[in-house]
Amino acid sequence: MLYNLSRLGYKCNDSFLLCGLCGPLLCLPPVFIPAMDCFKTVIFISAILLPLESLGSDRPNFILLFADDLGFGDLGCYGHPSSITPNLDKLAAEGLRFTDFYATSPVCSPSRASLLTGRYQTRSGVYPGVFYPGSRGGLPLNETTIAEVLKPLGYATALVGKWHLGVGPGGTFLPTRQGFDHYLGVPYSHDQGPCHNLTCFPPDIKCFGFCDLGAVAVPLMANETIKQQPVSFLDLEKAYSDFATGFISSSAKRKQPFFLYYPSHHTHYPQYAGKMAAGASSRGPFGDALMEFDLTVGNLIQALRDSGVDNNTLVFFTADNGPELMRRSRGGNSGLLKCGKGTTYDGGMREPAIARWPRRIKPGVTHELASTLDVLPTIASIAGAALPRVPLDGVDMGDILFRHGPSKRKAMFYYPTDPREKYGVFAVRLGKYKANYYTRGATHSDSTPDQDCHLTAFLKRHDPPLLFDLEADPSENYDLNPARYQDVLQRIRAAKADFEEGMLFGESQVEKGIDPALEPCCTPACTPKPSCCACG
């Protein structure tokens, strides 16, 4: 196998030289460097190239961290004055911090589908809204996840945390059916259970809110088996941390490259935290939950160092959607951005993002446009993996990460929580300009002073679209005069038309409905449900 070594900063050993004759840089003995027919050269050297391992470097490892309902302004490194996030802040100081990074949806399940597949949720059918414990549908098995991209290369794969891409009949859609060797976590959102029984913080303080009181208690699953029901939230983060650090350690000992995906429940409402973080922050329950997540991030980085693989691991952090502002101080903060979760304003979809890889990624800040869609093609490119043979919406971020160069992504398209072909995208960002063709508030963003964010801000079409310069006005307060920006609007219209022409909506998985019999229960034949579903 031939390796593109320059991409990762690798060098040849003393007996070989780098040759760019045939495009990718290859390790060749000096005698073969003189100009030769490229095809014959590649055929010849394919037998003599040393494998990557014998050049002193293993395939790189990947850790993907995904926070829940975290706003653009929630981390210390993004300007929050009282968040205690030293490990994430250090990740940013040692890595590359993004200022213009986007999720594809302002709610959970579709955003996660796009992250794992590199495709808009409209293609996979993960819309409208989110999955529930008894949902019949899930992320279709013919979609290819990052884990499935890496498996053919010998990667160990694990997921710890919140799945929220369906359970289905007999566990059809669980992570273990989607490329992950190991799974420990809650298969959906932790508020999709009887919240009145959920103890969030010691000592025994009940959560606020009226959740799904008729649902089964929230289960903790190990692979496809329910390990505990209801889950002990006070002990959950430690279980996740132990599982994840153990996976890193065991993979490193086997010298097996690994992919670890950690989609946290933090900081989704209702918050919880164990003894190490409860009451420890100055930001209240939200701050405690965020602090607990940050502690786990620190444990993972320490595990990389202890295992000797820190310099060979790309750690990428971002979040699924903006903050749930309806929860007030317990709902997160979108910083300068307008509105939050549930809306296609930037507060609902623009997220903090950090990439760290010692000796590979130079620390700094990038203002280049990027998205969760770009994670799969970037990881595939770095690992040398084949891309799925389907239309992808993501692009390789390598130029941004390794050269602080320009993005291959020129536009971002904003879909609402309930995309429909008749409406198309609600907004388009092209370069620094954003055009809002439709606007609408959301329950998730109620309670803010901005009336545009509220549920009572009903769907409104804008013709011409509202146009904003996001560099000068990230809060989307001052729409530009369309008469003066006809060239910009024309370019945006052309990008929108081209994108929508190539968008084929998949069958909605969420609209397949709900069957209460599919709700995970550790004692399936028990009665009366849901109260009898208890174990561990």
Q: Three-state DSSP class for 366?
A: strand
3 state SS of 201: strand
Which tokens in the block code for residue 477? 């307060």
Residue with tokens 């507060």: 347
∠ CA 510-512-516, rounded to 5°: 95
Report the run of H or E that residue 519 belongs to, with start and end. none
Q: Are 276 and 289 in contact, with CB atoms under 8 Å apart?
A: no
**DSSP of 208-260:** PS---TTSPPPPEEETTEEEEBS--HHHHHHHHHHHHHHHHHHHHHTT--EEE
Q: CA 259, CA 236: separation in Å to the nearest integer?
A: 21
Interatomic CA distance for residues 12 and 20, integer angstroms: 13
Residue 80 designated active-site: no
Q: Which of 164, 266, 444, 454 is catalytic?
A: 164
In Å, how far are 355, 392, 398, 410, 450 from 401, measured between CA atoms? 7, 20, 5, 16, 36
Q: Name the strands in the sheet holding 411-414, side by side, starting at the edge strand that comes first in the sequence.
A: 411-414, 427-430, 433-439, 460-469
Strand partners, 222: 184, 225
Give how far Cα 83 sits from Cα of 75, 270, 274, 485, Å.
6, 18, 17, 40
Tokens of 119: 């495709």
Q: Is 108 a catalytic residue?
A: yes
Q: Rounded to an integer, what distance in angstroms lies between the CA atom of residue 230 and that of residue 248?
A: 27
Rounded to the nearest 10 degrees, the angle between the axes of helix 284-306 and helix 86-94 is 50
Cβ pair 324, 444 in contact under 8 A: yes
Q: How far is it, in rounded angstroms, from Cα 301 to Cα 116?
A: 22
Buried b (16+ CB within 10 A) or exposed e, 68-103: bbbbbbbbbbbebeebbbebbbbbbeebbbbbbbbb
> Rounded to whole angstroms, how far apart are CA atoms 183 and 265?
15
How many other C-beta atoms lie within 10 A of the C-beta of residue 29?
13
Q: Rounded to the nearest 10 degrees, what angle do helices 108-117 and 375-383 cross at? A: 20
Annotated catalytic residue, options 19, 27, 108, 339? 108
Please list the active-site residues.
108, 164
